Amino acid sequence: MTGRIVISVDAMGGDRGPAAVVAGLVHSADKNPEIAFILHGDEAVLRPMIDRHATLSGRCAIRHATGVVTMHDKPSQVMRHGQDTSMWSCIDSLRKGEAQAAVSCGNTGALMAISMIRLRKLPGVNRPAIACLWPSRNPGGFNVMLDVGADVKADPEDLVQFALMGATYARNGLNLSRPRLGLLNVGTEEHKGRTELRQAAELMSAAADPGGYEFMGFVEGGDIPGDRVDVIVTDGFTGNVALKTGEGTAKLIADFLRDAFNANVLSKIAALLALGSLRRLQKRIDPRRVNGGVFLGLNGTVVKSHGSADDTGVSSAIKLAFQLAKQGFQDRVAARLAAAMEAADEAAQTAGQTPDQTAGQSEPETGKAAPPKTSEQENGGQA
């Protein structure tokens, strides 16, 4: 597998079983000669599936694992007793450096729990986050939102780290040099919303330069699919509710649309005539195309695919993992966090040691940071 980028894939735990996962692998391998896999799960089941596809020959190792994490397993249980599972094995390949990124369709809570204890958090990170891509009016077609469910809480300091990590993800995943970033609230005016969000907004504004993003202030739910910002920052409770509400609404409308075209003979003929356009529409809002929540803030890139992903969905999660691995995303997030922390430290020191120089022009108590300190390797022609 020399020279290829290796993705560690959990074959079990998705709603459709290993067949859908292997079909996704085949899809990706056909399209991308640079990719190789380590597949984790029951070898007796996986071996014949792999051997059937010539395209996977020499590009897919199997790591035997008997246990399977189900959707109903509690994360705390899996953390204690999940060592024999395919999910654990999948993350361990990443930890050992055998693979450059990991993909699983399994239980989100368990995957995060295993990732936390095996990979550990990046220095300075308090809460990891899950970032998703969201269809939007922006030219690239997608926005980034985080956290969408790693944790139900987030302090102002956590939200600033989400901002730094989300901006780096947008630079690498959406190829934006200076992403515009908004903090989710119930109103865009400064006096609205929860007190802790006003505090977070100040911190995020101060960290904009070292973080390499443009802070646009508060945004509302309607901006998540909009073009005012590229990155939407929120806590994991609100983000998860918003994500699922958006998905549910899109699905409801798609079903209503299907009903509308099945209503009568004329509408059925219309559907035939508009087939090409409707397919393009479907592609634009197809959740399988944006399949993959990325875990941020860990020592390793983990992509969580939808539990119900089919081959197209699995393949798109693999593609995302591949892109991030190829761009050295992991090092970039770490560098950006380190630079921002350094800038904040310097600002605090400047404020503490030479108050006369800053008095009247900066606000050291809000953690206002030093001038930009961008990481050189970031956006280094890997567009």
Mention every residue, 6+ apart, whose C-beta is less than 8 A from residue 307. 13, 14, 15, 71, 105, 106, 107
Quick note: the x/- pattern for a second copy over 304-343, rule CB under 8 A, is ----------------------------------------
- Using rule CB under 8 A, residue 361 touches a second copy: no
| Positions in 25-84 near a second copy (CB under 8 A) | 72, 74
Angle between helices 236-261 and 275-285 in degrees, nearest 10: 170
Angle between helices 17-31 and 311-326 in degrees, nearest 10: 50
Question: Smallest gap, in angstroms, from Cβ of residue 239 to a second copy?
Answer: 9
Nearest C-alpha neighbor of 71 from the set 23, 111, 42: 111
Dig out the tokens for 48 from the structure: 């014949």
Which residue's entry shows tokens 């998860």?
Answer: 240
Part of the chain binding a second copy (CB under 8 A), chosen from 1-9, 281-289, 314-322, 347-355: 281-289
Of the CA atoms within 13 Å of residue 13, those in its CB half-sphere come to: 36
- Using rule CB under 8 A, residue 182 touches a second copy: no
State which residue, 80 or 153, has the beta carbon closest to a second copy: 153
- The number of residues making up the chain comes to 383
Quick note: the x/- pattern for a second copy over 131-150, rule CB under 8 A, is ----xxx-----------x-
Q: Which of 83, 245, 354, 357 binds a second copy (CB under 8 A)?
A: 245
Question: Smallest gap, in angstroms, from Cβ of residue 274 to a second copy?
Answer: 3
Question: Smallest gap, in angstroms, from Cβ of residue 73 to a second copy?
Answer: 10
- Using rule CB under 8 A, residue 259 touches a second copy: yes
**CB of 378 within 8 A of CB of 335?**
yes
Do you find a cis peptide bond into 147, omega within 30 degrees of 0?
yes
Q: Which of 246, 287, 292, 300 binds a second copy (CB under 8 A)?
A: 246
Part of the chain binding a second copy (CB under 8 A), chosen from 36-44, 49-57, 264-272, 288-296: 264-272
- Using rule CB under 8 A, residue 269 touches a second copy: yes
Cα torsion at 168, 170, 176, 180 (round to 10°)? -90
Quick note: the x/- pattern for a second copy over 192-221, rule CB under 8 A, is xxx-------------------------xx
Part of the chain binding a second copy (CB under 8 A), chosen from 10-18, 155-163, 257-265, 370-378: 257-265
Cα–Cα distance, 57 to 60 (Å, whole number): 7
State which residue, 51 or 190, has the beta carbon closest to a second copy: 190
Neighbours of 331 (CB within 10 A): 12
Q: In what order do the strands lie in the sheet with 5-10?
A: 60-64, 35-41, 5-10, 101-104, 302-304, 293-296, 129-135, 142-146, 231-233, 180-184, 214-219
Cα angle 95-98-101, degrees, rounded to a multiple of 5: 65
Residues that bind a second copy (CB under 8 A): 72, 74, 109, 135-137, 149, 152-153, 184, 186-187, 189, 191-194, 220-226, 234, 236-238, 240-253, 255-257, 259-261, 263-264, 266-267, 269-274, 276-278, 280-281, 284-285
